[in-house]
Amino acid sequence: MFLLLGFSDLSLAVQTSLYVFFLLSYLLSLIGNSLIMLAITFSPRLRSPMYFFLKILSFSELLLISSTVPKALHSFLWVGRTISFTGCATQFFFFIAAAGCECFVLTAMAYDRYMAICHPLRYMSVMTVSFCYQVTFCIFAFTIVNAMIEIILIFRLPYCRSHLIAHFFCDVPPMMTIVCANTFIVEVYLLAVSVFATVFTSILIFCSYVKILTSIFLIRSAESRHKAFVTCGSHLVSVIIYFGTAMFVHLRLDNPFSPYEDRMLALSYCVIIPTINPLIYSLKNNEMKEAIRKLHLKIVLFKLDLVKTEFFSNVR
């Protein structure tokens, strides 16, 4: 058994505020990402590769926040702070898989925008349905295999210094502090994976956007330039927030943060980003807003049909 200390070192007033923040963020993320997934699934107009990858991104964000926040909400209550060894490994697996998936899906979305703007004539022949499924399969396969390797490396270590994890979920930095063995091999592997998943992919995204911006500035029509900027703007904002935070957290060398700083940084990529991304992708996207509006209308009409059916059945 491990004991998640969470935010137990803070005052009761701060803990109460954080509990409300976690709860509201989780509900908003659950609603926002679910609406995006449902809108893309049921809207015939949102069948392009961009929306296909956006649906995968929303799924990974739901998995990311669901792997950490529910247990964190439970741990705010003293009775829910223990977590079994298997439970900790399971939480870690889904967290790592979801975080890695988000990195590579954002990269795939950047490639999609690159092909759409820089090579519009080849776009339909390259970004086919089968290609999108192949990319998604490779992303899922890599992230799942990597998560399994990390579990094997980390959870075979002897945790004999303490059973206290100074965090609100089973993350690598606080777990490494209670290991009483040489963790050099584990740290080298984790650093290599972090470099590949953040630095390498961010370089690919940066190169894509250099060419994208060059192509956009060559467009003569102001309306077409504005449309291209709007299309890429949401993705670029999401990339900057996510990759900036991920590289800042996972690529630090010999400069460990305090437990308090670790928890505050974890809030950004575990709670805040999955909550604000649905807003980023829907506020300035008219097609997405229209699809969500129609989905809401379908849900309302479906409920009215249920009420009407129940009413007439009772009358009979």
243, 103 in Cβ contact below 8 A?
yes
Q: Label each residue of 34-63 as H, E or C.
A: HHHHHHHHHCCCCCCHHHHHHHHHHHHHHH
Beta bridge partners of 165: 4
Supply the pLDDT for residue 246: 73
Helix axes 286-315, 273-283, angle to 10 degrees: 100
pLDDT in tens, 56-73: 999 999 999 999 999 988
Above 60 in pLDDT, residue 311? no
Q: Is the pLDDT confidence value at 49 over 60? A: yes
CA distances from 224 to 113, 141, 187, 295 (A): 14, 37, 47, 28
Q: Which domain holds residue 232?
A: 2-315
The Cα 299–Cα 101 span in angstroms is: 30
CB 83 within 8 A of CB 71: yes
Long-range pairs, 222-231, Cβ under 8 A, ≥24? 228/117, 230/284, 230/285, 231/50, 231/113, 231/116, 231/117
Local confidence band at 42 (pLDDT 50, 70, 90 cut-offs): confident
Tens-place pLDDT, residues 164-222: 888 889 988 888 888 888 888 898 998 899 888 888 888 999 999 889 888 888 777 77
Q: How many domains does the chain contain in total?
A: 1
CA distance 289 to 222: 23
Q: Strands of 2-4's sheet, edge to edge?
A: 82-83, 2-4, 164-165
The CATH number for 67's domain is 1.20.1070.10
Distance in angstroms (rounded) separating the CA atoms of residues 232 and 126: 19
Q: What is the mean pLDDT of residues 139-146?
A: 96
Portion of the chain with pLDDT greater than 70, in percent: 89
Least confident of 39-53, 75-89, 185-199, 217-231: 217-231
Residue 310 has pLDDT above 70, yes or no: no
- Give 65's contacts (C-beta < 8 A, 6+ positions apart): 25, 26, 29, 30, 270, 271, 274, 275
Q: Distance between CA atoms of 270 and 26, rounded to whole angstroms?
A: 10
pLDDT recorded at residue 222: 73
Which three-class secondary structure state does DSSP give residue 161?
Answer: coil
- The mean of the pLDDT values for the chain is 84
Contact 195, 251 (CB under 8 A): yes
Secondary element (H or E) of residue 164? strand 164-165
What mean pLDDT do residues 112-138 have? 92
Cβ atoms within 10 Å, residue 224: 12
Q: Is residue 52 classed exposed, middle or buried when 0-12, 13-18 and 19+ CB atoms within 10 A define those classes?
A: buried
What 3-state class would DSSP assign to 2? strand
SS3 170: coil
The reported pLDDT for the residue numbered 139 is: 96
What single letter denotes the amino acid at residue 95? F
Instruction: Evaluate whether 153 touches 164 at the Cβ level (below 8 Å).
Output: no
Q: What is the mean pLDDT of residues 238-261?
A: 69
Q: Using 50, 70 and 90 to split pLDDT, how confident is the model at 278?
A: confident
pLDDT at 308 over 80: no
The mean pLDDT value for 232-261 works out to: 71
CA separation, residue 151 to residues 2, 61, 90, 103, 155 (Å): 16, 21, 9, 19, 5
pLDDT at 243 over 90: no
Q: Which structure tokens are listed for 136?
A: 């998604």
Share of the chain above pLDDT 90, in %: 33
Check residues 80 and 126 and name the one with the higher pLDDT: 126
